[in-house]
Structures are given as structure tokens and as C-alpha cells.
Amino acid sequence: MNDQENEKRNLVYMWKRSHQLATVQIVCIVVHWLMCHRRNYISRPTKQSMIHKQKVRDELMNQHQNNQRCRDIIRMGTKAFNNLYEILKRDGGFQPTKLATTEEQVAKFLYILSHNVKNRAISFFFRLFGETISRHFHRVLRSIITLEDQFLQQPTGSNASPEVRSSNMFYPYFKDCVGAIDGTHVFVEVSRDEAPRYRGRKGYPTLNVLAAYSFDLKFTYILPGLEGTASDSRIIKNALTREDKLIIPNGKHYLVDAGYMLRSGLIAPYGGVRYHLKEYSSHPPQNSRELFNLRRTSLGNAIERAFGVLNKRFPIIGSTTEPNYSADTQSSITLACCILHNYLMGVDPDESLIEEVDKKISNEFVESEEVDDAPINVDENHFEVYNNYMIVDEDATRGEFVRDALAIEMWRDCINLNENYIFFC
């Protein structure tokens, strides 16, 4: 009896097992059929199509052999472009990929910066997937960032700027001035939760970028990563105390606008005194403070020119259209654009572009300069308020002494020379 039951159980088990195996076999057959059937509807790249796409890319790259067309497409001439990708290969460790040469990747990157286009637009022209374009873009971006120390160099202050030495308006008064500092806002994409931190006076999320520059329109220091609500005073303090800090050579100073604190190394204009060039077009300076503000603004006007050329050359950081990149990426893009700007100012400045920016600036009538905020808890720039007690800020007092000495010397020389003040405008 027991043998019969065991045999019956074995038969049932074998039947169930056979049924399971048959089901698995049927499923495999169906899946195999579906996969084979699906291939008929999927357009897979053939060798011929790949050759065609490569020809299209080669033809696009050939356009860069025309100097003017190259400048229109990627904002630099052929020679500057060729030198750039050689520098990236030599100093930035940049290498070609299986599907794209070094030249092609750099050209795509520059086109995106120069026209603020999305990856899908580039993928259409270059016959590549958007993900491939994005990967190439970030490879070039990382490589350019490695050139920061080579093209963003802080001044030593050993010699007066040629732009200062060549003008009687500026020399010898600004012989210890190593440049100027100002800020700009760059539109950035952030999450809804983070938006309030980045939405400053512009009304939309931005990065508040601090820049130091020399009077030959080159940037010497960039701090691009702080949120748009950050005040000028907070940003400059951050720049002066961080690990990769802004360095002010001993005994030298930068020019800053009215939104920044007055210090011995940061010379701001006199408050409550005219200091815009347009304000002096029909009313020349009447005293030493007005004369100082006028000449300080004339010399410091280079920052508007530098930012103007930068935004004109690379609209990706000057555009107010919705950005395509996160805050971290946009910060890196801003730094990369400044590096490229300095490179081009040395080898391919594009005088027509600079003239266009100068003409635009000269035609703008500025009634008053926008100031993000006055220095926090500062009265007269040299008293700091702490727990309701007034504390003398000694460095601010030294800055006021430097500024007063410059203003008095300028005014005395003008009186002695019996000059017509109109010429200052």
C-alpha cells in the first residue's frame, strides 16, 4: 500500500515539474519571438549611417577653418581655437574619445557657451545623442577649470598698471591701485525649496558673483558660488578669509563701489557725493571729493567693460532666459567663461567686440548706481556697532586716510595747474 502511494506521489510531482518546465519553455519562446519581432522596428545604426554622421561632423568642423565664420560660431578666430585645444591637451590632460576628436568636443562646448543653446540642439547638428553631448560638455568644462591658475593670476603690485601710468588723470594718484572689485548676478536653476535663498533683487534665482579685475580688462579673481541674496559685504568678507582667498598685496588697494566696506585695501567712493561720469558731463567737480569720485569712476569703469565683453562673448552667463544647469554647474561655467575671456584677451581680444561694448556703455545714461546694500552695521564706514556699543574700526579709518590723501593731492595739483575741470569728463 505504501509503495503504491509513493509511486502516485512521484507521478504527481513529475507531472507538475513537467508542467512548470513547459511553461518556462513557452515563456522563453514568446520572449524570444518578441525580441526578434522588435528588432524589425528598431532603427539600429549601420556602418553606412555612422559614416554619414561622421561626414556631417567633419563638414561642421571644416567651417572653423574660415576665421570670420569661426569667430561667429565660437567667438574666437581659427588660430586662437587651435591653440586652445592644444593647451587643453597639453596642460588640461584632455583626450579624444572613440566617437569625437578633441577639436570637436571643444567646439561643441564653445558653441553652447556662445549661443546658450540646449544639448538637443547640438545633438541635432552633430548627429549625436544628447547624453553624449552632455558628457563631452562636462569633460571640456572640467579640463578648462584646471587652467585657472594659468589664466587667473592675482596681482603682485610690484609695478603700477600701464593703464594708470599712461594717464595724468590717474598717475601718480592710483599707482598703488592693483585693480577693481565688483559683482554681477548669473541666472541659475535651483529647486523650489532653495529658490528663496537665491532670489535676490533680480526677482529670480541667481548666483552673486564677485570679480576682481585689472585695468586691461582681465579678471584676476572670481568667487562665483554664493547665492543671490548674499550681500556685498558678506561676499567680500568671504573672499578675504576663505582658503582660496582674494589677496591684497601689502600697501596696495582695490577700488570698490559704494556697496562694499571702506578699508585700507578697499577704497570706496565718498558717500553722498556725485560719482557717475554722466553727472559731470555739464557740471565739473567742485571739490576734492567730487574730483576723487570722478577719477575713481573713470578708472573703475573697466569693470563694466570687462563684464560687457564677457557677457557679449558668452551669453550663457548673461542671459535671463531659464538656465539649463544646476547652481554648481553654473558656477563652474562662470569660472570657465572668465578663464576663456582672459585667454582670448591675450591672444584674440576681438577689438570690434570691445568697441561695440564701449559704444553701448557710453550711450547708457545711468542716473544712480544700484547698491545691493550698505555695509552691515557700519556708520560712516569706520564705526562698527556691536551689542549697542560703537567700536572704532581701525582699518576703515586707515582706508579713509588713504582716500582723503589721494583726493587732496588730486585737487591740489588741479588748482596749481589752473586746469579747466571740464577735461576730466
Picking from 146, 170, 193, the residue at the C-terminal end of a domain is 146
Bridge partners, 211 (sequence order): 182, 222
What DSSP string runs through 38-106? Answer: HHTTS-PPPHHHHHHHHHHHHHHHHGGGSHHHHHHHHSS-HHHHHHHHHHHHHTS-----SS--HHHHH
Q: Which helix (H) or strand (E) holds 225?
A: strand 219-227
Which pLDDT band, with edges at 50, 70 and 90, does 3 fall under?
low
Of 271, 258, 267, which is closest to residue 183 (Cα–Cα)? Answer: 258
Q: Is the pLDDT of residue 379 over 70?
A: no
Tell whether 227 is covered by a domain. yes
pLDDT tens digits for 44-67?
A: 555 555 554 555 556 656 666 677
Picking from 146, 175, 210, the residue at the C-terminal end of a domain is 146
Based on the fold, state whether residues 228 and 110 are members of the same structural domain: no
Based on the fold, state whether residues 322 and 371 are members of the same structural domain: yes
Based on the fold, state whether residues 103 and 220 are members of the same structural domain: no
pLDDT tens digits for 172-187?
A: 999 999 999 999 999 8
278-293 average pLDDT score: 75
**How many CB atoms are located within 10 Å of the residue 333 CB?**
26
Tracing cell 581655437 back to the chain, one arrives at 81
Tell whether 32 is covered by a domain. no
Tell whether 153 is covered by a domain. no
Q: Which residues contact 13 (CB under 8 A, 6 or more apart)?
A: none
Cell of 219: 579678471
Tell whether 215 is covered by a domain. yes
Instruction: Count up the domains in the chain and report the number.
Output: 2
pLDDT of residue 55: 55
Based on the fold, state whether residues 343 and 303 are members of the same structural domain: yes
Instruction: Show the 3-state SS of 157-218.
Output: CCCCCHHHHCCCCCCCCCCCEEEEEEEEEEECCCCCCCHHHHECCCCCEEEEEEEEECCCCC
Tell whether 317 is covered by a domain. yes
Based on the fold, state whether residues 246 and 117 are members of the same structural domain: no
pLDDT of residue 101: 85
Picking from 86, 117, 146, the residue at the C-terminal end of a domain is 146
Based on the fold, state whether residues 274 and 169 are members of the same structural domain: yes
pLDDT of residue 196: 87
pLDDT tens digits for 397-419?
A: 999 999 999 999 999 998 887 65
Helices (H) and strands (E) in the chain, counts: 17, 8
Q: What backbone phi and psi angles, to 5 degrees, belong to 208? A: -95, 105
Q: Is the pLDDT of residue 277 over 70?
A: no
Tell whether 121 is covered by a domain. yes
Based on the fold, state whether residues 265 and 387 are members of the same structural domain: yes
Tell whether 5 is covered by a domain. no
Based on the fold, state whether residues 138 and 168 are members of the same structural domain: no
pLDDT of residue 366: 44
pLDDT tens digits for 243-274?
A: 999 999 999 999 998 888 899 999 999 988 76
Based on the fold, state whether residues 253 and 401 are members of the same structural domain: yes
Based on the fold, state whether residues 66 and 188 are members of the same structural domain: no
Q: Is the pLDDT of residue 391 over 70?
A: no
Based on the fold, state whether residues 264 and 302 are members of the same structural domain: yes
Which of 142-146, 283-287, 355-359 shows the lowest per-residue confidence on average (mean pLDDT)? 283-287
Based on the fold, state whether residues 125 and 203 are members of the same structural domain: no
Cell of 263: 578699508
Print the domain residue range for 344.
162-424
Tell whether 231 is covered by a domain. yes
